[in-house]
Structure formats: C-alpha cells, structure tokens
Amino acid sequence: MSPTPITAPFPASRLRRLRRTPALRAMVTETTLTPANLIWPIFVTEIAGGEGEIPSMPGVERLTLDGAKRAAETAMRLGIPAICIFPHSDPELKTESCERAWDPDNIGNRAIRAIKEVAPELAVMTDIALDPYNANGHDGLVRDGVILNDETVEALGRMALVQAEAGADILGPSDMMDGRIGALRGLLEQNGHKDVAILSYAAKFASGFYGPFRDAVGASGRLVGDKKTYQVNPANREEAMRCVARDLAEGADMVMVKPGMPYLDICRMVRDQFAAPTFAYQVSGEYAMIEGAIRNGWLSREVVVESLLAFRRAGCDGILTYYAPQVAERLA
C-alpha cells in the first residue's frame, strides 16, 4: 500500500520551495534515467548497398557488419549495456519454410559474432521470430492462410539454438506464439545454454505503430493479412497480464511490453503485479512521430529524454530505444 501524503496547508507548505534551484530539484528527483537503462536496437543488412538511412525513420540507418562493430564500440564507450540485432535479409532468399532463420551463417548470427569480436563484454540481444526470413511477412509459419502455432514453436527453437551458439546473451522471442517460452527454455537447458537469458515480448500488441520497423527489415510489402490472431488486442489489458504471467511461469527471465508509450498502463501493472524485470520498446512509430515533430520544429529535442522518463516512471527497468546513443551522449 502506498503511503498517504501529508501536506501542511499553505503557506506552511509551499511546494515551489523545492523547485527553486537546479540543486534543490536534483535533490528531490524521484525518477532517474541512465545509459544503463537503455538497449539500442540496430538493423544489420546483408544486401549490397542496403546500408544507409531508413526513410521512415530519419536518423536511423541499416548497418553493414563493419557498421555493427562500430555501433558496438560506441555502445561500450557510452555505457549502453546491450545492443539488439534485427536482420535486413535478402528478399530473394525469403521462403515460406523460413529455413534461413536457423542458418548459422544468416546475417543475424554473423552480426552476433562480429559484435562479440570487438565488444565481448557488451550484452547482445537477438530477435526470435520468422518474419525477417518469411516470404509472407508473418512471425510464424503459414498454411492455407493460418499461422501455425506448434510448428512455428519448433522452428523458433532451432532459431534460438543457433543464436545461442553464435554467442547471444539475451534471446528476445517476439513472435507471440503460445508455449514458445517453455519450449525455448527447455531446449537451452538441454543443449548447454543454461545461462542464456530470455527477455520475452510477453505483451506485444497488434499495433499500428510498427510500420517503419517493417520498412527497416524489408517486410512491409511482404505481409499477407495481419497479425491479429497472435498479437494481443490493444483493447485487452487483462489478456496482456495473462500473457505475462504465462511467460514468467514458463521460464522468461525478463518481460517486455510493446509498443511503449501508448501502453504505459500495462507497464505499470506488470511491474506492480509481478515484480519481475520489466522492459518496454519505444517502437519505430513512436520514434518516427517524435523525430518527425522535432525535425519540423514542432517540438524541442528535450522531449526525447522526457519520453524515456515516462517509461521509467511507469516502472520499466529498461527501454529499447533508437535514441539510445543520442540520449547516452546527453546524459554523459
């Protein structure tokens, strides 16, 4: 139970007294943000000439393997503890069976190894979902228009094992299939990867805020239908909590809410109810809105830190954000 605040009547109580100077404001700051609260998502391309700025995410670039190495060195310098890899794979090699997802030499696994070469102490997080390698853009295998749950979970297990073997520290299952956390945890234990952590996308909503991300990984034109049969209905708070409870019970070490700012109420509920490490993803659409408004002169760049403080105030231990290096520089 939260304590009941006691405030003397005015003028004995003047709440502005503690706002008067920067020093006083710093002394009573309730919520803090440091580089240690940030995970930096990066896009790594295997396509010749595929690097460069993503039009729908101004300021964010697809990187080559050498670029990913430089990003890792930047993260280490700035005190960002983790980087999350998202692959931009060759569209000509995408198939309905998604077999490249568990190829040890796909671009995601090559990026893990490249980053570990230059920054072995940096935590490397990966994405576990089939959409970067899927001809129809879905996170799972599809048959006759139906996304297959159990067959997809089996495929995700193969994907998880090769990522763990490549050196990933944190696996991020973002697919929202039922039972996948228990299956992945079992496979990791059985195959000598007991120390690899799982940060589950436990409450991933069927949101309209993912559009620029799909541009970034080359999935926009591929998606057939929508993802509403496996991602959570944005109207359903209690369903999201059941998803989080299930993933923790199956062995998730950390849980994530996605998107972020439109779902801060879910972040607060997750943290309060489960007291588990809780993360949120400031997704591509959130980034594009903020950055677009800044570049048009409608907002100042100060809103970036303010937006991330909102996650911390809502109970998040950390935030995946494309602003990570910019914010870490500013905090330093």
What three-state secondary structure class fits 114?
Answer: helix
Residues 6+ apart with CB under 8 A from 4: none
Residue 196: the pLDDT is 98
| 94 in active site | no
Is 16 inside any structural domain? Answer: no
The residues pairing with 88 across neighbouring beta strands, listed in sequence order, are 45
Pick the catalytic residue: 69, 116, 204, 227? 204
Higher per-residue confidence, 332 vs 51: 51
Residues 6+ apart with CB under 8 A from 92: none
Q: How many CA atoms lie within 13 A of 109 on its CB side?
A: 16
Q: Which two tokens stand for residue 327?
A: 């914010």
Q: Are 239 and 182 a contacting pair, CB within 8 Å?
A: no
Measured in whole angstroms, the distance separating CA 94 from the mean position of its chain's CA atoms is 23
In 3D, which of 81, 85, 73 has the Cα closest to residue 44?
85
Q: How many CA atoms lie within 13 A of 327 on its CB side?
A: 24
Is 11 inside any structural domain? Answer: no
| Distance of alpha carbon 264 from alpha carbon 205, whole angstroms | 13
Is 18 inside any structural domain? Answer: no
Other CB atoms within 10 A of residue 156 CB: 27
Per-residue pLDDT tens for 23-49? 999 999 999 999 999 999 999 999 999
Pick the catalytic residue: 69, 116, 227, 258? 258
What's the average model confidence in pLDDT over 99-111?
97
For residue 56, give the CATH number of its domain: 3.20.20.70
* 107 residue type, one letter: I
Residue 188: the pLDDT is 98
Is 246 inside any structural domain? Answer: yes
Residue 6: the pLDDT is 87
Question: Terminal CA-to-CA distance of the chain, rounded, Å?
Answer: 36
Per-residue pLDDT tens for 280-311? 999 999 999 999 999 999 999 999 999 999 99
Residue 270: the pLDDT is 98
- pTM assigned to the model: 0.95
In 3D, which of 199, 317, 207, 306 has the Cα closest to residue 262?
207
Is 17 inside any structural domain? Answer: no
Per-residue pLDDT tens for 208-242? 999 888 888 877 667 888 999 999 999 999 999 99
Residue-averaged pLDDT of the chain: 96
Other CB atoms within 10 A of residue 135 CB: 15
Is 7 inside any structural domain? Answer: no
Question: Band of the pLDDT at 1, cuts 50, 70, 90?
Answer: low
Per-residue pLDDT tens for 189-203? 999 999 999 999 999
| Distance of alpha carbon 105 from alpha carbon 300, whole angstroms | 43
Residue span of the structural domain in which 128 resides: 35-331
Per-residue pLDDT tens for 135-172? 999 999 999 999 999 999 999 999 999 999 999 999 99
Residue 4: the pLDDT is 82
